[in-house]
A and B are shown apart, each in its own frame.
Chain A
Amino acid sequence: MSATLPQAPTRDADLAESPRRRARRATLGGWALIAPSLAIIFAFTLYPIGLSVFDSFTGQGGKLSLEQFSAMADDEILHKVFRNNIVFALFTGPISIVIALAMALWVNGRIRGRGFLRLAFFTPTVLPMVAAASIWLYFYTPGYGPIDTLMHAIGLPGHNWLGDPATALPSIMVVTIWKEAGFFMIFYLAGLQNMPPELEEASMLEGASAWYHFRRVTLPLLMPTTLFVTVVAVTTSFKQVEHIFVMTRGGPDNASSLLLFYIYKVAFTFYDQHYAAILTLVLVLTLLLLAFLQFRFLEKRTHYQ
């Protein structure tokens, strides 16, 4: 071997760093870059969450205790509100999904005035909930609202829809369905438009009826959309609060009160922060559990393309 190998040039200080030190500097740089975001997430998301959880386990005197849990067990109003919310979710979710699918199928076909119909179906979605609630408040007005006017016209007596404990919650549900169906329709419409038209033609040539094709092909292929929409529907039904403010304030006798509205009342009307905190915790855990169950149940029947 030759003894005249070229001398390695003297490297400057920066390059002389050991690989480990360089890696550590890179790591530090990375942390520096995400530090501002982390600080904000910690201050406005993680810290409040921790505080609420801590509050949930704190009694009146500021000591750790489970007394909030026994309070929940004894709270008749909470039980009623929870039942209300389950009824609310069970009706508004499936009904708005079925209506959404029907509307999507309708406006996906080759029909006259398709653009106008799509717009009409989607309009409730772009309205703020408060505006929608105000419109419906007027519809429901006892005596001279459009619904009562219509009932008088066909010889039926009027009705105080929002004032009767038996009809207050259903009336609120109608508004929700009216508003949500158009939103869900968009997802179904997108799903339908993604479906190659040859599938329907192939079914047609095989002699399958439109209903058979819908049941055996369209519906299964829309399962990813249905899964998504169901999760959103259930979550929204536990988050509804604006139209209750505008229309009933939870009354009469909590007949139309839902969980989030009750939490608001506990926190800002009764000023019981600890109790509101644990109710919020229960709400979030309920939603997580429901989402998990839906994924478990529907995932198996879902075919992703």
Chain B
Amino acid sequence: MSAVEIRDVSKTFKGSAAETPPALSRVSFRAEAGQFLALLGPSGCGKSTLLRIIAGLEHADSGDVLIGDRRVNDVPAARRQVAMVFQSYALYPHLSVAENIVFGLKVRKVAPEERAKRLKNAAAMLGLADYLERKPSQLSGGQRQRVALGRAIVGQSQIVLMDEPLSNLDAKLRQQMREELRALQRELGLTVIYVTHDQIEAMTMADRVVVMRRGEIEQCAAPVELYQRPATTVVAAFIGSPPMNLLPAVAADGAVTLRNPEATRLPLELAPADAATREVLLGVRAEHVRLGGAGIALAGTARSIEYHGADTIAGLDLGLPDKLMARLPGLVEIAVGQRVEVRIDPADIALFSAASGRRLERG
């Protein structure tokens, strides 16, 4: 009923510059009913535009928007039965919390008793019962956020669009609201499309994450897959902290040779389809770089050591343009400038094409 699907949507804003790059080019994805889908990407990647196209606040140049499997391209925003939470919350400053929440119900001429009932429910659910008579200016950021949520759920739309709703909150509150938002979404069975540039929000809350860059989808997958099998170097470098190490290497004759001074040879073979690629990037997560055990040995000089409590992040100079970041468990006694040998299990290595950034299948 409340699935949302985007098919081949393109959009170019007509700017003053003659060569305006498209805001969105042929974007497609589907959010199933009751799913929490995050649109993740750096600012300017088109994620907000996409959300506004789903809401009906912008129109796509081409492509279709489907809500509940019905094409809604020509349905006005008001009749798409979607609610939206804006980044700025868009609360009416002259109305009280209660009036803000029931604004849409009044517009839609819902009976006063029903209005009061729904207001009471929403207020109880969001812990706003004591603030109903206040004006938005008398509320804290977190409370305003709740009012915006209240306005979104009181209309009983099954689809809620959220545009960076937590970005104006401080870190602690954001963590708390992440949990509450997710609980609320599950409780009400909402389909949520959630725009964010914060990978932690996307990874912790979403069932599926759509990673976007420059108006195109890089990957659409569940958070686990996104982290373990990034489809492109963009995703690999965007997800995870520190991001995945990407080391330049050459693939030839059933092996990959790293471009470090020692020219370390790794017995990695590419699948037949990708066998022609020579320039590759070798991707390895920081936690897969270990101090001992089995695997291929790499030697480097420690350039940075950060102790994080549960682990230590070490940056090693292998003679390559970028440092190799290693997440080592616990407190590790390494001094800056010290020569260190680390090991990487070939099974943990992903290969990408240096030219296109695409993931290469291993043979």
From 46 to 93 in chain A, residues with beta carbon under 8 angstroms from any chain B beta carbon are none
Interface flags, B127-138, vs A, CB<8A=1, else 0? 000000001010
Assess the A206–B103 pair: CB atoms within 8 A.
yes
Q: Count how many chain B residues have C-beta atoms less than 8 Å from C-beta atoms of the other chain.
A: 23
Candidates B94, B151, B155; contact of A220 at CB < 8 Å = B94
Q: How far is the CA of A305 from the CA of B107 in the complex (A)?
A: 24
Interface flags, B56-100, vs A, CB<8A=1, else 0? 110000000000000000000111001110101010111000000
> A265 → chain B, closest Cβ, in Å?
47
Candidates B78, B90, B135; contact of A207 at CB < 8 Å = B78
Assess the A205–B83 pair: CB atoms within 8 A.
yes
Query: Does A204 interact with chain B (Cβ within 8 Å)?
Result: yes
Query: Does B6 interact with chain A (Cβ within 8 Å)?
Result: no
* A residues near B88, Cβ cutoff 8 Å: 196, 198
Known contacts being A196-B90, A201-B90, A220-B94, is A206 close to B57, with CB within 8 Å? no
Q: How far is the CA of A217 from the CA of B82 in the complex (A)?
A: 21
From 123 to 157 in chain B, residues with beta carbon under 8 angstroms from any chain A beta carbon are 135, 137, 151, 155
From 34 to 49 in chain A, residues with beta carbon under 8 angstroms from any chain B beta carbon are none
Assess the B90–A202 pair: CB atoms within 8 A.
yes
Interface flags, A118-158, vs B, CB<8A=1, else 0? 00000000000000000000000000000000000000000
Candidates A198, A201, A217, A305; contact of B137 at CB < 8 Å = A305
Interface size class of A (residues with CB under 8 A): 10 to 19
Chain A, Cβ-Cβ closest to B55: A205
Query: Does B172 interact with chain A (Cβ within 8 Å)?
Result: no
* A residues near B94, Cβ cutoff 8 Å: 217, 220-221, 303
Chain B, Cβ-Cβ closest to A220: B94
A contacts with B: majority SS: helix
Assess the A204–B78 pair: CB atoms within 8 A.
yes
* A residues near B90, Cβ cutoff 8 Å: 196, 198-199, 201-202
Interface flags, A204-245, vs B, CB<8A=1, else 0? 111110001000110011000000000000000000000000
Chain B, Cβ-Cβ closest to A197: B90
Assess the B77–A205 pair: CB atoms within 8 A.
yes
Query: Does B104 interact with chain A (Cβ within 8 Å)?
Result: yes
Could you list some 24 contacts between A and B, CB below 8 A? A196-B88, A196-B90, A198-B86, A198-B90, A199-B92, A201-B77, A201-B90, A204-B77, A204-B78, A205-B77, A205-B78, A205-B84, A206-B78, A206-B103, A206-B104, A207-B79, A208-B103, A212-B107, A216-B92, A216-B103, A217-B92, A220-B94, A303-B93, A305-B137
Given contact pairs A196-B90, A201-B77, enumerate 6 new A-B contacts (beta carbons under 8 Å).
A201-B55, A201-B86, A202-B90, A205-B77, A217-B92, A305-B93
Interface, chain B (partner A; CB < 8 A)? 55-57, 77-79, 82-84, 86, 88, 90, 92-94, 103-104, 107-108, 135, 137, 151, 155
